[in-house]
Amino acid sequence: MPDFHQHGGAYANPSQPQTGYPQNNPYAAAAPQRLTSQPSPLSSSPLASTPTNPPMPTNPGPVATTATMAPQASVAEKKQEALRVARDLFRQSPDWVTFFREILGVEGVVRRLFNVPEQLNDFEHCEEYGEIQLMIAKLRERTSVQAESKEPTRVITVRLPKSLHESLRVEAHTRRTSMNKLCISKLLQVVDDSMIPND
C-alpha cells in the first residue's frame, strides 16, 4: 500500500512508494513469524528490572512488552529498548492499529520510556523512530479494512481551502490510494514545531 513520503522525493516504483527513511529496508521482504509467547526484556535491558505482565487471556492477540523503565537508564538505552520492543511486536504480525497503539499510542511503550517532552521530541527525529515508521508502513500494506475495524474509529472534520483539498485529491490519485489513507499517512508523520502556526 502506498505511504506518504515525508520528504517529497521521487519514487522508484510508483505503484509502491518508499518512505523517506533509508532504502535498505529490512522489512520490505520480511515474512514475520507469529510468536506463540509474549516477548520479554533481555536480562541486560533497562526494562528488565521488574516486568509486570498480566496473565495472558485465551487466544491473545499481539502484545508489546509491559515493563517499567529503570531510572538510571540513558536516552540511548531507551531508544534501543523502544526499537527492540517494536521489533518483537512486529514479528507477531499485528494489524497496524494495534502496533501503533502499543508502540506509539498515548499509553504506548515510547511515551512510557520518554515521558519528558524534550526526550520524546529527540526520539521522534532519530534512526530508531524512522525504523518504527517503516514497520508501520509495512503493516499498513498487509492490514485489511476488517482488521482495522477492531478498534473503534473516530471522525474529525477539518476545514481546509478548496485548493488544498484539490491538491490532496490529485496526490491521492497519483499515489493510487484513497484520500483517507493518504491523510492518515500524513497524520502519522512528525511535524516540526516551526511548521505549526500559533493560534
Residue 175 within a domain: no
Question: Cell triple for residue 136?
Answer: 508501520
Look at the block and give the residue holding cell 514475520: 32
Is 57 a domain residue?
Answer: yes
31 within some domain: yes
H-state helical runs in 104-161:
109-113, 117-123, 127-142, 145-148
Question: Domains in the chain: how many in total?
Answer: 1
Spatial separation of the C-alpha atoms in residues 13 and 34, rounded to whole Å: 29
pLDDT at residue 9 in the model: 44
The residue segments making up the domain with residue 66 are 1-157
With a pLDDT cut of 70, the percent of the chain lying above it is 61
Separation between Cα atoms, residue 52 and residue 78, nearest integer Å: 18
Task: Indicate whether 30 belongs to any domain.
Answer: yes
16, part of any domain: yes
Residue 116 maps to a domain? yes
Asked if residue 144 is part of any domain, the answer here is yes
Provide the residue-wise pLDDT of the chain in tens; the chain has 199 residues.
Answer: 444 444 444 444 444 444 555 556 656 555 445 544 455 555 555 554 444 444 444 555 666 655 455 667 888 999 999 999 999 999 999 999 999 999 999 999 999 999 989 999 999 999 999 999 999 999 998 876 656 657 888 899 999 999 999 999 999 999 999 999 999 999 999 888 888 888 7
Residue 105 is assigned to a structural domain of this protein: yes
